[in-house]
Structure 1
Amino acid sequence: MSLWDLISWAILLILGLFLVSFLLYSTYLHYIHLKYDHIPGPPRDSFLLGHAPSLMRAMKADSLLHELILQWSQLYGPVVRVYAFHRVMILVNSADAVKEILLSPTFTKDSVYKNAFHLFGVRFLGNGLVTDRDHEHWHKQRRMMDPAFSRTYLMGLMGTFNEKAEDLMEQLAEKADGKAEFSMHEMMSKVTLDVIAKVAFGMELNSLRDDQTPFPRAISMVMRGVSETRNPLIKFNPGKRGFIRAVQESVRLLRQTGKECIEKRQKAIEDGEEIPTDILSQILKGASLEKTCDMEILLDNFITFFIAGQETTANQLSFAVMELARNPEILERVQAEVDEVIGSKRDIEFEDLSKLSYLSQVLKETLRLYPSAPGTSRSLEKEMVIEGIPVPANACLVFNFYAYGRTEQFFNDPLKFDPERFGPDSKRPHFTYLPFSLGPRSCIGQVFSQMEAKVVMSKLLQRFEFELVERQSFDIVDNATLRPKDGVICRLRPRGHK
């Protein structure tokens, strides 16, 4: 047999294998469609790709995937099926289903969370508190972290909250001439980074005063990387190689910083020094109780808290500034409350926070329209009926908090920024306002986050008047968390009586 005959047979064999694989895959897709096509949903873009083209278009920089999910929920009802190749996602827009599923520990996080274990081949969140899908193992981690978020410990953080917020006010005062234009999101990102580094890990990053510190850029790159990985083809795009390398370097920087921080604390413990009851101490305590000092697992939780504690609060604060500047009557009212409760004093006390009720409403309304973490998902292991529709097993249940906050049947005139929705006499549906998720896997740091947000916003409202620079958009960009696309560009000037 000649060489050409061998090549011809090899080509035929490859083509035959491809044809068989294609037929098997097509048969499997047909089977999947038969199982789930009774559920309402948009027409597929194609038999093979499902809705993947629509999803990919919605994930472009000038669009927002969550708007597409909102549109589909409005068009097709509380249970919507979506195909991405062979994968089936069920969009759940039902308060009853939220209550039943998210409050139950029997519904594990969907396998999509495994995607955050690595980021472009570099270990990222691993098996930290957010990504751990094993309920028993997660529960051990959560229980060990609880003391770092107790009321007693959080009350002790007021000094640091005040200190770092004052650093921010000093930086803003230098810009508050009524002419300088700057990104409020950038400033909020720096102050929240300084806060989480200090109170969680005993680190003084001083990013507000040090423009050369690499951490703000590293976190921004990492979050962009997480967002970009939703496109499975990105790693094959030659034009993205530089970006991928930058993301990999950013992850390595954060994990190396965590390693140095952990080793320093471990030495302090060995030397018998007094250590704080912070998140880092709880991470190490948990490792000690489980008799494991696997550095990679320790770093998983370091990265989880370092990023989550910075990114989400910065986004909320930025969106709050944006909405207050667009709603002067609301701004006037919340400033009046701050004047009454805080007056001209420099340090805000823990007891003051509960008196800032209207500011709480403003912050809650901000999270309704702009939830920093826009959703979660659960794995459906057994068939169940949702809103009268049988949903077969093995689907991914998607709960989109962004869509809930903008759904008419949950919130009247949902696009209007109205803090009165959260007033003491307001009535609203349960299980549809979920900025920190719900149930056992809800955010452990939500009280911490809102305390910090209140301190920073109180001082900002106490000291400054602010206005938005013209010609900027109020669009939202999804970098794994929702942030203002143009950064909330502002001008500031001091308040006359302060």
Structure 2
Amino acid sequence: MDLSVLALCTLLLGLCLWKMNDLIYRYKTYIALYTSDKVIRFGKFHPLWGHLHLLIPLTKFHELTVKGMRETGRKITCYWLSFLYPILGVCHPDTVKILLKSSEPKNKQAGGGYFTLLPWLGDGLLISDGKKWERNRRLLTPAFHFDVLKPYVPIYNQVFDIFLDKIEKATSGGQSTEIYHRVGLATLDTLLRCAVSYEDNVQEQGSNHPYVNAVRILTNISLKRIMEPWLHPDIVFNMSSHGKKYHKSAKYVHDFDERVIRERKQALEADMSVLTKRRRDFLDILLTARDEHGVGLTDREVRDEVDTFLFEGHDTTASSLSWAIYSLSKNPEDQEKVYEEVKRVLGDRTDVDWSDIKEFSQLTLFLKESMRMFSPVPSVGRITTKEIDLDGLKVPANMEIYVLIYALNHRQDIWGDPERFRPDRFSNDAEKDPYSYVPFSAGPRNCIGQHFALNEQKVALAKLLQRFKVLPDPDHQPEIDLDLVLRSTNGIRIKLQRR
């Protein structure tokens, strides 16, 4: 045999043995994690599916987590997504803070929870990591300064006037109406108007609007791909009917964004003075931001951040606001307290001003409790870049870990009676561990747009309560669906009574 061929074969054999040894070491480590008395385990391990049969639907997984927490008091979960690899979950302030105090990136590799969003959202703040994330976070922070957020309040008022007119018509004669879809249209309308100054009768067109339809398809297929490991390889996914539909929708969203960005960029290049003649929006700030070297964002980076903001800013807010309206209908005494506050703050005015928002203390407590009971984002993911210690459990680098926000919000040992709706539990936040309640995540990678989202919801709820009393539909019970955001499989229905 030729000496060079022999050397190559020896090298390949060595690489195979090295890789095999690495895999064996990893699986021994993973099995040690799974069998530790520190973790909550989920039933019998299937040699092919792992615990996938216990994770679909995701609601079942979160129910098992809550049950495991109450039975064992443990702070970490461990389950296997098929036989390929285990995933950890943290569900107690002690373990949550260890993970969120660092800026560990979210997993965008194949198999990680965020890889399915990458072709759509790109490498924006939600998914990016390292130096790129740090630089872009600094550049985007001014877009959420109070001086920028303040002029958005009149837009919130305009959008939710349209929303209220529509649901008033839908509930005439004592009928109930499904609100989640309508709220989602309103929050998307808000984002398009505030972020890129785009108005196109979104609420009138509803699901017929191609952007609304595209975002719905992208979110549904993204979750489906996470839960079906055979769709993880790009070559398989891209050839499937789901992959083709996904990429067609992503192309529409990208073309839409690129057109808006291109037109704005041309306008700014022609005359920068336009920025002094109107309010600056999110897109203006993206296009004019410069780092310490005088370098701005590339066209692709601008598109990625616009895509990310439009998705995160409308879908999660729609979930939070819809469940808050549902909570008003189910808790009439708390609704009355919030209404009295709104009446006192607004008086005879129908529009909410910037200065009013800070006066809504009772409304703020109500909204916090609603986000605890119905976590808009049930979980957020991280991947370790070095070994960390979680409650005595040594977790290696490159391990995917989720902060199980929904489970955290339903811990008996943290919240006492977690299934009872009680806004006053937030009246003294100073007594709580700040990592016991993280609806917008926490630490360096917390949600950059949380004030935008909270302000929008407060305006929407204040205007709703000023005009209507919210009543439950006695014939309808929402069925919780823990998707990428918290939804209901059969919608959320309410009735309205004009005040």
For the criterion TM > 0.5, the same-fold answer is yes
Provide the residue aligned with 1:191 in structure 2: 186
Give the drift of 1:101: 2.9
Matched, 1:216 2:212: yes
Map 1:199-348; keep pairs closer than 5 Å.
199-211=194-206, 212-230=208-226, 231-234=228-231, 242-272=241-271, 274-275=274-275, 276-286=279-289, 291=295, 294-348=298-352
Distance in 1 of aligned mates of 2:109 and 2:367: 30
Give the drift of 1:28: 6.0
Provide the residue aligned with 1:173 in structure 2: 168
Q: Which amino acid aligns with 2:56?
A: M
Unaligned runs of 5+ in 2: 1-16
Q: Which amino acid aligns with 1:109?
A: K
Q: Which amino acid aligns with 2:78?
A: R
Map 1:75-224; keep pairs closer than 5 Å.
75-76=71-72, 77-84=74-81, 85-105=83-103, 107-111=104-108, 116=114, 123-134=119-130, 136-211=131-206, 212-224=208-220
Contact residue 176 and residue 494 of structure 1 kept, 8 A? no
Give the drift of 1:454: 0.4
Contact residue 128 and residue 301 of structure 1 kept, 8 A? yes
Query: SS where residue 431 of structure 1 aligns?
Result: helix
Q: Number of residue pairs matched?
A: 468
Contact residue 149 and residue 445 of structure 1 kept, 8 A? yes
Please report the TM-score for the alignment, with normalisation by the length of structure 1: 0.85
Give the drift of 1:29: 7.1
Provide the residue aligned with 1:59 in structure 2: 56
Give the drift of 1:193: 0.8
Contact residue 184 and residue 489 of structure 1 kept, 8 A? yes
C-alpha distance 261-290 of structure 1, shift in aligned 2 (>3 A): farther
Please report the TM-score for the alignment, with normalisation by the length of structure 2: 0.85
Distance in 1 of aligned mates of 2:31 and 2:450: 42
- Structure 1 window deviating more from structure 2 (428-437 vs 188-197): it is 428-437
Matched, 1:477 2:477: no
Matched, 1:70 2:66: yes
Map 1:19-34; keep pairs closer than 5 Å.
27=24, 31-34=28-31
Distance in 2 of aligned mates of 1:47 and 1:117: 25
Residues 393-439 of structure 1: CA deviation (Å, up to 9, x unaligned): 44222211111100011111001111111124884333110000001
Query: SS where residue 110 of structure 1 aligns?
Result: coil
Residues 301-334 of structure 1: CA deviation (Å, up to 9, x unaligned): 1110111111111111110111111111111221
Contact residue 364 and residue 419 of structure 1 kept, 8 A? yes
Distance in 2 of aligned mates of 1:130 and 1:33: 27
Distance in 2 of aligned mates of 1:490 and 1:57: 32
**Percent sequence identity over matched residues?**
26
Distance in 1 of aligned mates of 2:376 and 2:474: 25
C-alpha distance 137-173 of structure 1, shift in aligned 2 (>3 A): same
Q: Which structure carries more helix by proportion? A: 2
Distance in 2 of aligned mates of 1:57 and 1:29: 24
Q: How well do the aligned residues superpose, as a CA RMSD in angstroms? A: 3.0
Contact residue 51 and residue 79 of structure 2 kept, 8 A? no
Unaligned runs of 5+ in 1: 1-19
Contact residue 258 and residue 303 of structure 1 kept, 8 A? yes
Provide the residue aligned with 1:13 in structure 2: none
